[in-house]
Amino acid sequence: MIKIIKKIPKIITAKKNSLPIHLRPFKRGLSLGIILILSSFLLFNSVSAQDNTAEGFKQNTAPITLDGIRLFKVSSSGEFTAQDRADIINSKLQEAVSSQEPIELEIRQNNDLPTVWLNDRYLLTITERDSQAGNNQQEQAEVWRKKLQISLIQAQKERSLKFLRDAFIRSILILSFAILCNFILGKFWNKSLRHFFKKVIPVQQTEDQEQSKYHRSIDLFVSLTLASVRVGIWMATILYIANQFPFTRRLSFEVTGTLISTLTSDIISFANQAYSIPDVLFLIALLWILIVSAKVVSDLLRSRILNVTGINRGAQEVIAVIIRYSLICIGSIVLLQIWGLDLSSLTILASALGVGIGFGFQDIAKNFGSGIVLLFERPIQVGDYIEIGEYKGIVERVGARSTVIKTLDMISIIVPNSRFLEIELINWNHDHPVSGVRLPVGVAYGSNIEVVKQSLLDVAKVNPDVLAMPSPQVLFKGFGDSSLDFELRVWISQPSRNVIICSNLYYQIEAIFRLRNIEIPFPQRDLHVRGSLPLELSSELKDLLMRLSQQQNNGSSNVDSHKTDLDSQKP
């Protein structure tokens, strides 16, 4: 891990020097993020780090603490381990502080070794292992005596009522200040950060969806930073208040020590190397920063550089995607090597992953391979109006695994890339965006076909969406059941507006036909009856009609007689 930390400043410096001018606002943010992560990581590990010997083995030492403050470390001596010695010394120090007796520390010689006595009671012996570099045992004993003297007097002072009262007042003031800071942050943080981002990254005149995505990203970033700052303020407040009182400080030290010893223990062994939880979190943080940085760089490259060159949207998307995934792949390899992972040991893992892709992830691999083919062959590009199966729409994004199509109803459809290579694809913008539109038109029989032809051509000429070249055409398709059938052929440069353009043309055709008295027919059917009038009926049909007529007359007379009987019965 020390090797990783030593190499990080070089990485940050290299990235800062390699960023172009237009990325400097992001350079500061990324550098600040990396520095914050590394600082917290170093602070976290500095508490639990121990000195290494020349051979690389950890020394057997234990800390001497008083009310959560680490004073110095002692080593093992004879049959006592370092931790045993530390526990005995710490308990004697706590007894001396609790007794409220005046503190008296002196150094005595015992078997040619300096010993420290506390209130005429033996406290510890300074051995050769306890001596630090540059000090002999006697000098080390004097250094420890002074440090113990100051710490014990301060510990007794912190147990006085006056100190506890002052510490309580300070804690109340700090707590009030933290509440005030949280209130002020909630009021002004959003406005100030949004104003800052509008200056650094001004929103461009893009589509409503991209502007909405931009604003959502800003809102998410502002909310996360606000939450992080608030958590940091409350953590600092809690730590400050805990350090004001000796009892809470000792409890905080014990809890922190337990957490540190748990988190810093090795949990993963790989390629003869062990890694702890901070190591894994550190790698995840670096990979996350790499992915975010690659996305930011590719997006800025597309919006700030490629837009100026005049390259079409499809080519811009291809270049941005290639650069993004290239940065992620190369950066991941570099980070894994800096992290201390031997990539040659991943051969077996890569083989197993290949087998897994072949069986379990074959659809994903197929779509990913199809995405690479689409990016290089470019049968479709961003902005093309296409039809695939039952879907029609504009290509919004060509990704590594799928492509997003937006229909004319503004509905996004996510299509796997493999479908574009498996079934027929209609692309109205392929090679050139010009496409033809056919409008069938019918007029009534007896209409002047020359006037009809000229009217249709006039409509095509005045419509701004119709191209002058190729020129519009009017074709006489034939004689229909109730109309003379014509077809108006025009060419447009916006295939995605096909429906709207056809509707506008039909509106204009109806208006000019009404103006020039050209009749638009409706379906008609003529009934032709053979024979002469009046019609001659057969004798059988005449008899049948006579019987039906008599039955109808008899029925009506019966009804009338029944009504007469009912009327006569009324009082």
pLDDT over 70 (residue 36):
no
The reply to whether 95 and 145 lie within a common domain is: yes
> Does residue 547 lie within any of the structural domains?
no
Residue 323 belongs to a domain = yes
Query: Is there a domain that residue 410 lies in?
Result: yes
Residues 171 and 258 in one domain: yes
Is 271 inside a domain boundary?
A: no
Q: Single out the residue in 516, 535, 554 at which a domain terminates.
A: 516
**What average pLDDT score do residues 58-67 get?**
76
Tell me the C-alpha distance between 301 and 295, whole Å: 10
Q: Quick one: 149 and 73 in the same domain?
A: yes
In angstroms, the CA 568 to CA 562 distance is: 10
Q: Cα Rg for the chain, rounded, in angstroms?
A: 45
Instruction: Tell me the HSE value of 116 on the side-chain side, using a 13 A CA sphere.
Output: 25
Confidence grade of residue 356 (pLDDT, cut at 50, 70, 90)? low
| Contact status, residue 233 vs residue 175, Cβ threshold 8 Å | no
Omega of the bond leading into 63 within 30 degrees of 0 (cis)? no
Mean pLDDT, all residues of the chain: 76
For 406-427, the pLDDT digits (tens) are: 887 888 888 888 888 888 888 8
The residue-averaged pLDDT of 499-506 equals 90
- 258-288 confidence digits (pLDDT tens): 777 777 777 776 666 777 777 888 888 888 8
DSSP 156: H
CB 76, CB 148: distance < 8 Å? no
Identify the band that residue 509 occupies on the pLDDT scale cut at 50, 70 and 90.
very high
Q: Which two tokens stand for residue 67?
A: 């009310």
Q: Say whether both 198 and 254 belong to one domain.
A: yes
| Cα distance from N-terminal residue to C-terminal residue, the chain | 120
The verdict on 153 and 169 lying in the same domain is no
Domain stops at, among 427, 445, 464: 427
Q: How far apart are CA 317 and CA 381, in angstroms?
A: 8
- Report yes or no on 52 lying in a domain: no
Closest CA relative to residue 26, chosen from 327, 212, 298: 298
- Judgement on whether residues 173 and 145 belong to the same structural domain of the protein: no
Within-domain flag for 295: yes
> Can you tell me the mean pLDDT for 11-34?
42
Q: Which long-range contacts (CB under 8 A, 24 or more apart) does 99-102 make?
A: 100/156, 100/159
Considering the domain architecture, whether residues 168 and 258 belong to the same structural domain is answered as yes
Give the count of domains, the chain: 5
Domain end position, chosen among 494, 516, 538: 516
CB 381 within 8 A of CB 312: yes
Q: Is 87 within a domain?
A: yes
If one counts every other C-beta atom within 10 angstroms of the C-beta of residue 511, the result is 11
* Closest alpha carbon to 261 in 276, 280, 243: 276
Q: Average pLDDT in the 178-188 region?
A: 85
CA separation (Å) from 66 to 89, 435, 551?
10, 85, 125
Q: Do 401 and 364 form a contact (C-beta atoms < 8 A)?
A: yes
Same domain, 470 and 402: no
pTM: 0.42
Is 137 found in the same domain as 90?
Answer: yes
Is residue 12 in some structural domain?
Answer: no
Q: Which residues pair with 486 in a beta bridge?
A: 441, 476
Q: What is the CATH number of the domain that holds 395?
A: 2.30.30.60
Find the mean pLDDT for residues 80-109. Answer: 84
- How much is the pLDDT for 489? 92
The residue-averaged pLDDT of 538-556 equals 75
Confidence of residue 506 (pLDDT cuts 50, 70, 90): very high
State the SS3 of 164-230.
HHHHHHHHHHHHHHHHHHHHHHHHHHHHHHHHHHHHHCCCCCCCHHHHHHHHHHHHHHHHHHHHHHH
pLDDT tens digits, one per residue of 210-266: 566 666 777 777 778 888 888 888 888 888 888 888 888 878 777 777 777 777 777
The CATH number for 478's domain is 3.30.70.100
Query: What is the token pair recorded at 431?
Result: 């090679």
d(CA 291, CA 304) in angstroms, rounded, equals 20
Rounded CA separation 7/77 (Å): 38
Which residue range forms the structural domain that includes residue 419? Answer: 376-427
Q: Which of 73-82, 171-180, 446-455 has the lowest mean pLDDT?
A: 73-82
Question: pLDDT tens across 3-17, in order?
Answer: 444 444 444 444 344
